Structure 1
Amino acid sequence: MDIYAFPPVAAILDAAYTALMQLAALLEPLAGGAAAAASVLLVTLLVRAALVPAGVSQARAEQTRSRLAPKLRELQKRYGRDRERLQRETMKLYADENTSPFAGCLPLLAQAPVIAIVYALFAYPAIAGHANALLTETLLGVPLGASVVGSLAAGTATAATFAVFGVLIVVIVIAAEITRRAFRPPVMERADASPLAGAGVARAVGVLQFTTAVIALFVPLAAAIYLATTVVWTLVQRIILRRRFPLAVP
């Protein structure tokens, strides 16, 4: 079953389509043929600006977790062999501190519907029963509905395809590497430290920073623009908020 054909979802998608087309028309005098791409960029910035309060909440949550880390390690040392008791004491600690181990997840959850809508707007030839004119829009000659993998499979990839996607993927990779270096999780070498704080897991977390670049190979160009803009915004925002909410020194 196609979820985008479900009437309420189709109505939301059609409203997003209309809004994006109108925004592209407004930007056309300034952006010319790249108006649709510029509208995707502007929508991304607006979404990220709306999520700034959630980003502040996430930074506060990271600061709280860093402050609670010694207490959590003490609980692991004391109740490590009693998983049920460890879970109860851990949740009690979070409750006493008026926080949650899942605090700060809102930015990721809030973006999921937006990414799904952007993907659908440039992946479906028809929206709510009418032709999708967004698929005729391009950026430097590359259709906003084209993907690297799809273009290669269809034999339609051009030098412009590799150039445009190449720039976006390089931006994503650079932002991911800076994020990995700047926000590397501390590696605990103590015997009583949690296995989740080990060097292997720290390396795995670093590798996950680059999954967005891989995803950008498979999604339409419009979605890749959204992803590249998002990772750059997120990096800058985290740097600013980390200075405002520094982590506890281990």
Structure 2
Amino acid sequence: MSVFAGLVEQLADVLQPLFHASAAAAAIVLFTALVRLLVHPLSRASARGQRARARLQPQVAELRKKHGKNPEKLQKALLELHAEEKVSPLSGCLPGLFQLPAFFLLYHLFSNTTIGGEGNELLTHTLFTAPLGDRWADALGDGGPFGTQGLVYLGLFAIVAAVATFNYRRTKRTMAANPLPVGDGEQQVPGLGAINRFMPLMSFFTLFTVAFVPLAAALYVVTSTTWSAVERAALYPVPERSS
């Protein structure tokens, strides 16, 4: 973790002439962008994989009709189909998995008062007036929601809400353009309808993450979420609604 702390400090030193007291916050944003840039090839591969899986849907539907009463045969047939077409059903998970270590490193880095037995000087850095190691509860206790620290969090909440609304609308349009097939003797998975109604709202849960993690980790989440929204808009264009 001390190596990671040194990297953040070095980035902050480089950015200090431009951002002054908020240089460490700017370093976290830049670090997040670098992580997402490194993961971008996986995101592009995931998009290609999703298009390939969409192309296989007619064959998958046929296999479900054929082996619907035999889950073992169905699973084996699906794995063989994906292997034959060189499509990984797990490719969509890789970009998110590769980002988790960076988030947890930031979380622990700004949650500990010491690093390598010495005081954690990163906790003295701020975003405007809000310490990077504090949480929203600390801001509420120091001036309330409209105090100088509270306004920093309100700005982050506004960004997250805007991104979540953008994602919500895109998800709704995507689901409207690709409705799940109903009927033709196919049995819908129990609870799937409720999950599909709930799924567009998931982006709004980022608001809770930003509220409860240290500000440094919240900056990572806000930056990464915004990057994801732009990236998905570019890699996953919303299709025209099927008639």
TM class by shorter chain equals 0.7 to 0.9
- Residue number in structure 1 paired with 2:182: 190
Q: 1:75 to 1:177 in 2, by over 3 A?
A: farther
Deviates more, 1:68-77 or 1:39-48: 68-77
**Residues 52-131 of structure 1: pairs in structure 2 closer than 5 A:** 52-131=40-119
Q: Which runs of 5+ in 1 are unaligned?
A: 1-12
Q: Which residue of 1 aligns with 2:211?
A: 217
Cα distance between partner residues in 2 of 1:221 and 1:136: 12
RMSD of equivalent CA atoms: 2.4
Q: Tell me the matched-pair count.
A: 235
Q: Counterparts of 2:151 and 2:55 in 1: how far apart (Å)?
A: 45
| CA separation of 1:157 and 1:48: change in aligned 2, threshold 3 A | farther
1:168 Cα offset (Å): 1.2
Aligned residue type for 2:216: A
Q: Is the 8 A contact 1:62 1:104 kept in 2?
A: yes
1:237 aligned residue: 231
Q: Which has the higher contact order (CA 8 A, sep 6+)?
A: 1
Instruction: Report the Cα offset of residue 177 of structure 1.
Output: 2.2
TM-score of the two chains, using structure 1 as the length reference: 0.86
After superposition, the Cα gap between the structure-2 partners of 1:201 and 1:54, relative to the gap in structure 1 and judged at 3 Å, is same
- Which is further off, 35-44 or 189-198? 189-198
* Cα distance in 2 between the residues matched to 1:15 and 1:57: 30
Q: TM-score, normalised by structure 2?
A: 0.88
Aligned-partner SS, 2:87? coil
Choose the corresponding residue for 1:206, options 185, 189, 200. 200
Would the alpha carbon gap of residues 133 and 109 (structure 1) be closer, same or farther in structure 2, given more than 3 Å must change? same
